[in-house]
Structure 1
Amino acid sequence: MKHFFRKYYRDLFLGKRIFAGIGLCVSLFLFSFFLPWLGDLPYVFLGVLVLLVLIDFVLLYQTKRDVFLRRDVPDRLSNGDDNELQIYVENFYAFGIHVGIIDEIPFQFQKRDLWFKSNLKSGERKTIAYLLRPTKRGEYVFGQIRLYVQSPLRLVARRFNFGEEVTVPVYPSFLQLRKYELMAISNRLSDFGIKKIRRVGHSMEFDQVKNYVQGDDYRTVNWKATARKGELMVNSFTDEKAQHMYCIIDKSRAMKMPFEGLSLLDYAINASLVLSNVALVKQDKSGLITIAEKAGSIVPADRRPAQLGKIMEVLYKEKSRYLELNMEALYTSIRGTLRQRSLIVFFTNFESMSALNRQLPYLKRMAKYHLLLVVFFENTELKVITEKPVLDVEGIYIQTIATKFAYEKKLMVKELAKHGILSILTPPEKLTVNVVNRYLAIKAQQKI
């Protein structure tokens, strides 16, 4: 009896049709008390229903080779992006089946209604694709897949359990990274909103002497080479290479604020990963520093092939803290790590002018030795409040305060510019494009 329970009863479920049949059977027995002419019809109906249930049971359990199912999960998921997962299912029954699939996805997604339905003919294979968008880095555990199979009668369902628990890491947005990498290699960054920057002059790094082609600048003609060769030759210049670029990420409580599911820290991590990759494609040296109430991780600038992997491994583990940013520790780390003039892209956030003024002395010292670009965030929720129609006095008060905070953000940009510090005030969703734009502009203008 225990063996029967384990093998059959535990994975056997009643379908909607059997409940409808039982309801109809009960109704017939009830009406037979008042309508004697029904006779033995309720008993006949009950017998037919029981027989059909037995036939359905035999159909589902008659064969050893029934169905096959597999979940295809990537080795890692990309944070903040839509990741595609697939469920492959194959029918080995001699008849068509109706299937229902429950995938036990990680609890971080907070989805309890991931239910797929499909019909499969005998011998048919199907692949069901769906998207998951994680919003936190870390380890995600996928459970089993529950497959419910019904025969054409659809009176009972047999459950199959496939797979074991699988742990998949969620890394910073490498899907976005690949997208921008391909654009950088093919010089098509403008397809994603990256602007082409007009060059102020020529780079000082000489590349080669080449034949003149239509469109080359006449000012670059090499007259000595032209005289020797007997045809027009021009000097070719290239971007200066091996310049140092560091992304500094603030992990303090100012970066915990969420926008569209992602915290500001995650936006900064995704953008810094893309920026580091673009810098490496441009043959610059890229590095990383993280900071909170104390110095965090440091990856010295380099342009070796493994550099991006090192940066990604560090960013995967980073978490926001609950304490204030320690600018003194950051300044000490910069002075101890950066041995030459570098471009510093500092991802942080200021919600008020007083917050900026507390950090300004350290920012001025950093800008004295390096080219400093401060990246902070526009509060898009405040923007919504300022544009919303006001209906009462309380609404006027709230809108006035929101307008004041939004205006203070613009004042911060002017205050930083007054001290020779570059800055970007950006909505979180446009962070990556705006940062890459500014990096390319700085390269074109030869500011480093």
Structure 2
Amino acid sequence: MKKFFGLFYTNLFLTNRLFAGLAVCGMLYIFRFLFNWLGIIPDVMLGLFLLLVLLDIVLLYHKSQGIFARRHAPERLSNSDDNQLGIYVESIYPFNIKAGIIDEIPVQFQRRDVWFATTLSPRIPKRISYNLRPTKRGEYTFGMIRVFVRSPLALISRRFNFEQAETLPTYPSFLQMRRYELMAISNRLSEYGIKKIRRLGHSMEFEQVKTYVPGDDYRTINWKATARNGNFMVNSYTDEKSQHVYCVIDKSRAMKMPFNGLSLLDYAINASLALSNVALKKEDKAGLITVAEKIGSVVAADRRPVQLNRILEVLYKEKTRYLETNMEALYATIRGILKQRSLVVFFTNYESMFAMQRQLPFLKRIAKFHLLLVVFFENTELTSLSEKPAGDVEHIYVKTIAEKFANDKKLIVKELAKHGIQSILTAPENLTINTINRYLEIKARQSI
């Protein structure tokens, strides 16, 4: 009994309709002092109102569990993507009720507006869906589901608490990875800006001998097969496979800068995961190296089915460091691990020509043995600032400085190209698509 009354008091809430009814009864008592003819009407109204409140309590509390609710969540969340979650709720009351549902989402989202109002019919389940977009990797802890129900009288509200505490890991953007994987397989990447590259000659990876059709390169005619068959036969070639593709991620303080709630490191991690997946689908070998003031994680290039999961687990744990990048250690690691010519995609960030020139000697050494692609970021906020018209002297000064920094980025691209190093200068939100675009272009040009 004591437990029941404890639950009764802690889970009972008064509604606005109850206070409105009490206000009306109070006004009737005030008016009775002015108008004697009201007599016992205020007493009758108050008695009826209290009976309605008692009836409402009985309606809501005659069942110990009048509501069932459960959260439906994925096993893991995808960073920087909209992850769909749902709440399954069902009423066991014999009448229609109005319900307000609160899902205690993780504190990382800093949201206090996750409230869903709905109407529930008896024994008819309903699913409420909503999206969450995490911007940091790590563990996200969900709390209870709280359901506030009201009967048709709506004078009081009863709260039901459902213990469903669970912790979900937030991994690098595997939803984005799957999206680009499907586009690469279906050759729909051109819709997202990936251009077709004209092949220069053909690769040396022989596939089959097939019948000649108009448009085939006549230089590939197989004369021996033609003589045996009586029809023109040509050799067919396919893209070279099992080439090594390494993503090298800079974890230094230069990658801590945030854009749209996501750090540059997270943008690089998402792009590396998507690029590795596309490389594996193209039957190349994908590998990973992370570096800051020292070498972090190293995943040797491979194309086994478990390789992508290995890369995903490593990327999940990576965090930004706050010291300079040790390029000497990076060069020594690449020379020690990469035994054949490989595509090395180096994700980093340069804010000035001086910062790039400090690393240039090591970049030139790496480019001597491998195809090096340096990927760094355009400061979109400075770009938008430089494009705004200046209204006074102060704004002219700010605009000039912004244009100077934006121009330095373009000079870095030219300086790298002067030394035979390919580069990509991209906005953070376009990083993944531009990186995959360049990889497919390199494959088409047979540059590795």
- The answer to whether the 8 A contact 1:344-1:373 is kept is yes
Match in the other structure for 1:186: 186
- The answer to whether the 8 A contact 2:12-2:158 is kept is yes
Match in the other structure for 2:32: 32
Match in the other structure for 2:208: 208
User: What is the Cα deviation at residue 260 of structure 1?
Assistant: 0.6
Q: 1:194 & 1:228 partners in 2: Cα distance?
A: 42
Q: 2:137 & 2:349 partners in 1: Cα distance?
A: 20
- Give 1:264-275 correspondences, 5 Å limit: 264-275=264-275
Gaps of 5+ in 2: none
Task: Identify if the C-alpha distance between structure 1 residues 157 and 214 changes in structure 2 by more than 3 Å, giving closer, same or farther.
Answer: farther
Q: 2:92 & 2:4 partners in 1: Cα distance?
A: 24
Structure 1 residue 322 and structure 2 residue 322: aligned? yes
Structure 1 residue 279 and structure 2 residue 279: aligned? yes
Structure 1 residue 294 and structure 2 residue 294: aligned? yes
- Give 1:352-431 correspondences, 5 Å limit: 352-431=352-431
Structure 1 residue 127 and structure 2 residue 147: aligned? no
Structure 1 residue 59 and structure 2 residue 59: aligned? yes
Match in the other structure for 1:139: 139
Which is worse superposed, 338-347 or 184-193?
184-193
- Give 1:222-261 correspondences, 5 Å limit: 222-261=222-261
- Give 1:309-348 correspondences, 5 Å limit: 309-348=309-348
Q: 1:7 & 1:414 partners in 2: Cα distance?
A: 71
Match in the other structure for 2:93: 93
Q: 1:404 & 1:421 partners in 2: Cα distance?
A: 23
User: What is the Cα deviation at residue 65 of structure 1?
Assistant: 4.8
Q: Deviations over 1:25-79 (max 9, x none)?
A: 2222222222222222221121111111111111111124522111100000000
SS at match of 1:376: strand
Q: 1:145 & 1:64 partners in 2: Cα distance?
A: 17
Match in the other structure for 1:303: 303
User: What is the Cα deviation at residue 342 of structure 1?
Assistant: 0.8
- The answer to whether the 8 A contact 1:70-1:163 is kept is no
Which is worse superposed, 379-388 or 184-193?
184-193
Task: Identify if the C-alpha distance between structure 1 residues 12 and 220 changes in structure 2 by more than 3 Å, giving closer, same or farther.
Answer: same
SS at match of 1:299: strand
SS at match of 2:273: helix
SS at match of 1:131: strand
Q: 1:299 & 1:29 partners in 2: Cα distance?
A: 81
User: What is the Cα deviation at residue 185 of structure 1?
Assistant: 2.3
Q: 2:189 & 2:220 partners in 1: Cα distance?
A: 27
Scaled by the length of structure 1, the TM-score of the pair is 0.98
- Give 1:132-171 correspondences, 5 Å limit: 132-171=132-171
Q: 2:436 & 2:257 partners in 1: Cα distance?
A: 23
- The answer to whether the 8 A contact 2:208-2:235 is kept is yes
User: What is the Cα deviation at residue 188 of structure 1?
Assistant: 2.6
SS at match of 2:210: strand
Q: 1:137 & 1:378 partners in 2: Cα distance?
A: 23
- The answer to whether the 8 A contact 1:383-1:406 is kept is yes
Scaled by the length of structure 2, the TM-score of the pair is 0.98
Q: 1:191 & 1:60 partners in 2: Cα distance?
A: 55
Q: 1:200 & 1:122 partners in 2: Cα distance?
A: 69
Q: 2:211 & 2:25 partners in 1: Cα distance?
A: 93
SS at match of 1:135: coil
Q: 1:408 & 1:312 partners in 2: Cα distance?
A: 34
Determine what percentage of the aligned residue pairs are the same residue.
69
Match in the other structure for 1:196: 196
SS at match of 2:94: coil
Structure 1 residue 220 and structure 2 residue 196: aligned? no
Q: Which runs of 4+ in 1 moved over 3 A?
A: none
Q: 1:265 & 1:5 partners in 2: Cα distance?
A: 54
How many residues are treated as equivalent by the alignment? 448
User: What is the Cα deviation at residue 214 of structure 1?
Assistant: 4.3
User: What is the Cα deviation at residue 369 of structure 1?
Assistant: 1.1
Match in the other structure for 1:110: 110
SS at match of 2:34: coil
User: What is the Cα deviation at residue 204 of structure 1?
Assistant: 1.2
- The answer to whether the 8 A contact 1:65-1:93 is kept is no
Q: 1:213 & 1:169 partners in 2: Cα distance?
A: 53
Q: 1:203 & 1:303 partners in 2: Cα distance?
A: 20
Match in the other structure for 1:446: 446
Which is worse superposed, 145-154 or 4-13?
4-13
- The answer to whether the 8 A contact 1:373-1:422 is kept is yes
- The answer to whether the 8 A contact 2:70-2:164 is kept is no
